[in-house]
Amino acid sequence: MTSTRTAMSDDHGIWTQRADEASLASLESSDAFPLAVKANIAVRGLRRSAGCRVLDVAAEDADAPVVAALRHHGAVVMGMANMHELALGVTSDNAAYGPARVPSAPHLSAGGSSGGSAAAVAAGLVPLALGTDTGGSVSIPASNCGVVGFRPSTGRWPTAGIVGLSWTRDTPGVFAATVVEAARVDSWVTSSTAAPPVERPRLGIPTAFLHDLDARTEQAFHRTLDAWRPGVDVVEVDLSDVLVRTRPAEPLVVGWEAPRELASAAARALHLAPDEAFAALRSGVETADVAAFLDAIAERPVTADEYARALSLVLDARRLAADAMDRDGVDALVFPTTPAPAPPSGGGASTRHRDRDISVFELYTRHTGPGTILGAPMVTIPALAEDVPVGVTVQGRRFDDARILTLCAQLQSVLLEAASSRSTVGAGR
């Protein structure tokens, strides 16, 4: 495991709760390493607030299975990492616990909803951090903070012990400095073995994800592709039939499943009936966009018929995505994780993008949301960027995680060598 300093710093809004000194004593063992855990994942002895004071009421009795798997291999939990309140946003601008920010550029949002986890790795406080992902909540913070983020196929990692939003889309995931470390965690959680190297990979770029990019993102993406081209084939692929189904399904799936997931979690924490607990949650949230979402789904609930249609769209999209990858003979899809680098911290619900104001949520989930409807594995790798972090995401077929991790380890090794060469050339000038 990569060494890291273990000082606990709150300068970037990373924590909602820290472990006590007695809990950290086992770090003195040679096999131990520090771990940050997103505040919606159960850790024995710590409070699973999900970034919401309403749920910040009692310590958990047991670890979530995903935490237990990492503890088995030496993890010592440093604390609960900050997040977008209830995981209902993409900035981690949390009104209750403060905003999580990019450690190398504190004026920028760490992304969400797993912003504190990504920031903890980027700051060098921990080598690994657990997050969760519904619509890009691992991929987006990894991109914003310049670290690796791995979102497993939905259903590959256990979700017990997690305050979630969608049983159709949710999965825990991990942040690390390298894909190799993320792959090691996947093997710990799933007992899987590494896949063999991918010979001359063929990467497909979804044409729709090449448009309306910030200039810095576009330059970093193409610089990264140029570094890969000697060893890979790159083609454009048309996913329009897939996207026309994933786009309408995204809000409907969450609109039906999130209130039920949150009501259940609140009922457990508050010892109330689910309807009463959801009402208490709705009245107690402090972050404006989260309050607006809860109000909207309470005032205009997704109907059973709408949800049924959404699930049909999900199934069709998954079939069509697999068909498209087979048709074009691609091993994986590759695209800029987000259309723009991180927005300003505390900037509100909209941001300036290419001379127009646009919803932060709409902009930053544009590329990641479809893959979460597909339930696909997604690995986000730091691109060859200049001024601010930019991420490139590699997305595979559902449950092809081991192969995608091996491929991404190959791809990252090329980028690390390219970055090293650029640094050496720059130092020699």
Which residues make Cβ contacts (< 8 Å) with residue 169, sequence separation at least 6?
A: 133, 134, 135, 154, 253, 254, 372, 373, 375
Does 114 qualify as catalytic in the annotation?
A: no
What's the CA gap between 345 and 157, in Å, rounded?
31
**Quick check: bond before 187 cis, omega within 30?**
no
Q: How far is CA 236 from CA 210, 318, 333, in A?
A: 10, 19, 9
Active-site choice (49, 109, 113, 139): 113
Does 192 qualify as catalytic in the annotation?
A: no
What's the CA gap between 87 and 137, in Å, rounded?
8
Residue 6 and residue 27 in contact, taking contact as beta carbons nearer than 8 Å: yes
Residue 19 is encoded by which pair of tokens?
């472990």
Residue 79 and residue 19 in contact, taking contact as beta carbons nearer than 8 Å: yes
Which residues make Cβ contacts (< 8 Å) with residue 67, sequence separation at least 6?
A: 37, 41, 42, 43, 75, 77, 130, 161
SS3 257: helix
Residue type, 52: C
Which residues make Cβ contacts (< 8 Å) with residue 428, sequence separation at least 6?
A: none
What's the CA gap between 364 and 253, in Å, rounded?
18
What's the CA gap between 217 and 229, in Å, rounded?
18
Active-site choice (49, 92, 137, 143): 137
355 Rama class: left (phi>0) / alpha (psi -120 to 50) / beta: left
Does 137 qualify as catalytic in the annotation?
A: yes
Question: What's CA 372's distance to the chain center, in Å?
Answer: 10
What's the CA gap between 155 and 172, in Å, rounded?
9
**Where in the sequence numbering do the catalytic residues fall?**
38, 113, 137
